[in-house]
Amino acid sequence: MMQPGSSSALHGFGLGLRPPHYPAIEAGVTGIDWFEIISENFMVRGGPPLRHLTRIRADYPMVMHGVSLSIGSTSPLDRAYLGSLRELATRVEPAWISDHLCWTGIAGLNMHDLLPLPFTEEALAHVAARVDQVQDFLGRPLLLENTSSYVAFVQSALSEWDFLAELVRRTGCRLLLDVNNVHVNAVNHGFRATEFIDALPAGAVWQIHLAGHQDNGSHIVDTHDQPVADAVWQLYAYTIARLGAVPTMIERDDHIPPLPALVAELDRAREVTAAARQPNPAREVA
């Protein structure tokens, strides 16, 4: 039976665990409450990755975040992958496990990209059935992250936010809300970012991602190689004002700065959260 789980299993502000920061973390650092690991980086039998993971896990709570579940694919779920994921969870004892609402390949081919889905009733039923299977296998709720996208399907009959809300209702899964991706998609597809946030079911968002992007004028690309943009900070404030405090982390996957620079961004997230929870916070965002 699936364990009920709770967003109260984790608090505060975290970072993605990245190899350039291992020495500083293991030497002791302040200002970080927890870490998120990329699950696939640690699905190994031994060696340096697991040694670092074991040392850091002794001092910090962790969550697991995957990039290869391919929940939207029409290929059968990869049971060997799920077995390795469950085995890693036994080692890490994460607060939760997450992946993306996307597909990454078909017929055994992993395209190493987070590919968008059509937001149709057929796709919703397909994904919901697969989420149920994954949650039963793992014995815990699965968190799914909204992804950035650069094309839209003419077949889509639902909005992205209605698709997510209905998926939560049908499966009991939870959401990893990437606020940067909401902003990226709002600009790329021409909707109001606040409409997305307002439609999310209360209590369904258990974690938030903040990240940087590349603004190309006509469109935005989710790159994770820049500091969080001001427009994303504004949307984050709106999100916290509506949803309350949610465990939040900074994602940085390229042009990775020294650890103190990311801790400074975490401190800004703390400040934004504190201000957004005051009476009558400013909520005017695009």
**Which mean pLDDT values do the consecutive 10-residue runs of the chain (286 residues) have?**
58 96 93 97 92 96 97 96 98 98 80 86 98 98 96 93 98 98 96 97 96 90 93 98 97 95 97 91 50
The pLDDT of residue 281: 47
Task: Identify whether 81 is part of a domain.
Answer: yes
Structural domains of the chain, count:
1
The pLDDT of residue 257: 96
Structure tokens at 225: 């190689």
**What separation in angstroms does the CA of 15 have from each of 60, 134, 192, 193?**
11, 26, 28, 24
The pLDDT of residue 217: 85
Ramachandran angles phi, psi of 90, nearest 5°: -65, -35
User: How many residues would you count in the chain?
Assistant: 286
Task: Identify whether 2 is part of a domain.
Answer: no
> Domain range for residue 192?
7-276
The pLDDT of residue 126: 98
Task: Identify whether 178 is part of a domain.
Answer: yes
Instruction: Return the biggest CA–CA distance within the chain.
Output: 53
Task: Identify whether 189 is part of a domain.
Answer: yes
- d(C-alpha 212, C-alpha 75), whole Å: 32
**What separation in angstroms does the CA of 263 have from each of 245, 267, 271?**
18, 6, 12
Nearest residue to 157 (alpha-carbon basis) of 117, 115, 118, 191: 118
Task: Identify whether 285 is part of a domain.
Answer: no
The pLDDT of residue 105: 74
Using the CB atoms, write b or e for 86-117: b if 16+ within 10 Å.
eebbeebebbbbbbbbbbbbeeeeeeeebbbb
Task: Identify whether 286 is part of a domain.
Answer: no
Task: Identify whether 32 is part of a domain.
Answer: yes
Task: Identify whether 80 is part of a domain.
Answer: yes
What's the CATH number where 229 sits? 3.20.20.150
pTM score, whole prediction: 0.93
Q: Give, as one character, the DSSP assignment of residue 156.
A: -
The pLDDT of residue 113: 77
Q: Cβ distance 87 to 40 under 8 Å?
A: no
